[in-house]
Structure 1
Amino acid sequence: MNKAVLNFCRIFVGILFIFSGLIKANDPLGFGYKLQEYFEVFHMPFLSGMATGIAILLCVFEIVLGALLLFGFWRKQVTTGLLVVIIFFTFLTFVSAAFKVVTSCGCFGDAIPLTPWQSFSKDLVLLVMIVFLFRNRDKINPVTNHAGWQSALFAIVLTFSLMFSQFTYSRLPILDFLPYKVGASLPELMKIPAGAKPDEYLIMYNMKNKETGETKVMSDKDYLKTEIWKDDNWEIIGDPESKLIKKGYEPKIKDLQITDASGTDYTKELIENPYYNLVIVAYNLKDSNEEGMAKINAIALNATEQFNIRSVLLTSSSAQDADAYSKRMKLFSEIFYADAVPLKSMVRANPGVLLLKNGVVVNKWHYNNVPSFDELTKMYFAK
């Protein structure tokens, strides 16, 4: 019986760690953004600049640990490593859940979003399994005792996980789980369907009795139902507060607003353009790759001159910084502004490019693999 439980825990934990590592390695930049949230929460902003590198190392570590557990190699070191990792993440998810500091842990990237309490529950189950594996580590049988084969398999897994993470970082995620994926209709994803229920709120009043000094909090419904407003001894103190009691329908794209430097909203005009539209995304111009931006700028210039295709640059940098950057880089595209959060979701690159037509994402590219103008012409513009 113990042997069957041991094998189940070993296989389950091993596969889950590999799956978790691969999902995050598919989008290391996105995982890096999530780590930056944690660094801010724990007052470690000095690590933010290294977030992507740390993200890649954590992904590789998860994949390698999971694979070695399945292989049964180096039982003591592997189970100890798993125990340290799960204790750390259990603490992290508990803090996130209890203090509501990070709304999604990013355990499985954007593929399977989990609430903090769901993440914490998952980690508790894993903690029990890993403690069991640690206590019974001597009973784990390796698939081979040959030291050479063990080293070779370890090297293969390590090399694959490093190369996979580097590939997705320097290109784009192989599987895109974000709302701005190729084929997505942005206007449709921003709509709230007819009849969909909105969020439900209660207005909460802070009440104080002028005679007794008693205080209490009550909703607007109770305020009217009890007719406490008729009692001159009770008064509302401070400003009323809204309390969410039931979450309504939420569109997949809810935070995209594109404006010019003066604040005029251009969201509808830009994303519903019925013609081809090149959207260059550089959420932070200070950290954008200038060689990549120069290449994209040349493509945008040719596309406009030869096919009258509109090109725009979206950034969350200040108008002053954007203007200085545009002059220095001799940018051709119009510049518009949006919050960094949706821009980071649009394309995992700084800069990156989306090709839109009638609000649909026709394709998108990392600055490292943007097609040449001739290739774009052949694939899209000349058709």
Structure 2
Amino acid sequence: MKILAHIVRFLVGGIFIFSGLVKLNDPVGTQIKLEEYFEVFAADMPVMHDFWMSLVPFALYFSVLMCAAEVILGVALIVSWRLKQVSWVLLLLVVFFTFLTFYSAYYNKVTDCGCFGDFLKLKPWTSFTKDIVLLVLILFIIWQRKVFRNLRTGSLVAFSAIFSVALAFYAIRYLPPIDFLPYKIGNNIPQLMQPSEPLRYKYIMEKDGKTEEFEKFPSDTTYKYKEMVLINENAKPKITDYKVWNNDGDFTQETFKGKKLIIIIKNGTDLNGASLAEIRSLINSVKGSGVEPLILTSDSDAEIQEIRKAYLLDVPYYFADGTVLKTISRSNPGIWLLEDGTVKGKWHYNTTPDKENVLSKL
């Protein structure tokens, strides 16, 4: 039992450290998930609508605090630092996560909880099951905590706290050190919009009270159709919602032709206007070099025209879904470089490149 308790302690600690680090790599992604939860709760609990919406502006702070706590608590658990307090805090944290994943699964809301960031996508009921297992393991640790020897290793816990905050700060100020998103450098967007292999389905049919599966739709008309299930789930397109348009129609395929320097302006609400002077200089410098600059936005036509006029951005603009733009770029504005549909560069507005840097990527 003592050996099992130590194994469980290391396992739970390792899971929390891994989960926290993956999310600290991209705290803005967790911020987006928290905003989704706040908006869902505001819609589902109208009596508390104003309360939930008041939390939205603080979602990034909650994201950093929660993700850093996972790492710090995981380290504290592994090094046996203040186990009594740490184990109870872990229990409260897992109860909170279990509630969120159950809510997502049962009500089919926020169907990706972001438990492991964009590194590993879990289905809602899988996430809920994972949290139930963690809940049981933490209760086991609390039950067996007397077998663990408390160590004076506060310096390691303090270092984990400093490292966690530093990693989050870097990812927010620049971009995630490791990009797990489908729009990362090296990916070909048109290819990811297609299945990696022909999709195969099985048909669930019923006859005389018995259920049978067929890989081809049966010609026997006495069978009653129940559902169609995809067999090779992993072959589905990794990108399904990328679409670009303007007032004249669809422009999606045009973004895959030639060299495109795309300025992502998600919205004017939290736009860092001070960075647009440098971006404007970049846009003007690449004109005539074979690189076509353009703007992608989820703002309205009137709003983006006002932004272009205010910041002297003399480039065409097109529209895209706001969620897609958040996935492409974690900064607002952001810079995205495509060549024949392949991502050649991504920059935060704090690291706006010059013309030579852009051309060197092509």
The answer to whether TM tops 0.5 is yes
1:45 is displaced (CA, Å) by 2.1
1:142 is displaced (CA, Å) by 3.1
Q: Percent identity?
A: 37
Residue 279 in 1 paired to residue 265 in 2?
A: no
Match of 2:352 among 345, 370, 383: 370
Match of 2:250 among 243, 246, 265: 265
Contact preservation (8 Å) 1:75, 1:138: no
Residue 251 in 1 paired to residue 237 in 2?
A: yes
Contact preservation (8 Å) 2:194, 2:236: no
1:226 is displaced (CA, Å) by 7.6
Letter in 2 for 1:12: L
Letter in 2 for 1:3: K
Find the aligned partners of 2:283 and 2:251 in 1 and give their Cα distance.
19
Structure 1 residues 100 and 312: alpha-carbon distance in aligned structure 2, compared to 1, 3 A threshold: same
1:98-247 mapped onto 2 (5 Å cutoff) = 98-144=106-152, 149-150=153-154, 152-192=155-195, 195-197=198-200, 245-247=228-230
Residue 22 in 1 paired to residue 21 in 2?
A: yes
Structure 1 residues 173 and 91: alpha-carbon distance in aligned structure 2, compared to 1, 3 A threshold: same
Match of 1:47 among 26, 46, 55: 55
Structure 1 residues 74 and 41: alpha-carbon distance in aligned structure 2, compared to 1, 3 A threshold: same
TM (norm. structure 2) is: 0.87
Q: For residue 290 of structure 1, what is the aligned residue in structure 2? A: 273
- Give per-residue Cα distances to partners, 1:43-79, cap 9 Å, x unaligned: 1222112111111111111000000011101111101
Stretches of structure 2 lacking an aligned partner (at least 5 in a row): 43-51, 206-216
The SS at the match of 1:246 is strand
The SS at the match of 2:330 is coil
Q: For residue 346 of structure 1, what is the aligned residue in structure 2? A: 328
Find the aligned partners of 1:134 and 1:303 in 2 and give their Cα distance.
61
Find the aligned partners of 1:287 and 1:56 in 2 and give their Cα distance.
19
Letter in 1 for 2:243: Q
Letter in 1 for 2:64: I
- Report the count of equivalent residues: 337
Structure 1 residues 196 and 366: alpha-carbon distance in aligned structure 2, compared to 1, 3 A threshold: same
Contact preservation (8 Å) 2:294, 2:316: yes
1:246 is displaced (CA, Å) by 2.3
The SS at the match of 2:138 is helix
RMSD over equivalenced CA pairs, Å = 2.5
Q: For residue 93 of structure 1, what is the aligned residue in structure 2? A: 101
Residue 12 in 1 paired to residue 20 in 2?
A: no
Moved more, 111-120 or 93-102: 93-102
- Give per-residue Cα distances to partners, 1:260-279, cap 9 Å, x unaligned: 134x11110112x22x2201
Find the aligned partners of 2:202 and 2:335 in 1 and give their Cα distance.
34
Contact preservation (8 Å) 2:199, 2:236: no
Find the aligned partners of 1:297 and 1:197 in 2 and give their Cα distance.
48
Letter in 1 for 2:278: K
1:313 is displaced (CA, Å) by 0.7
Contact preservation (8 Å) 1:96, 1:116: yes
Structure 1 residues 138 and 246: alpha-carbon distance in aligned structure 2, compared to 1, 3 A threshold: same
**Higher alpha-carbon Rg:** 1
Q: For residue 68 of structure 1, what is the aligned residue in structure 2? A: 76
Letter in 2 for 1:297: R
The SS at the match of 1:6 is helix
1:99 is displaced (CA, Å) by 1.2
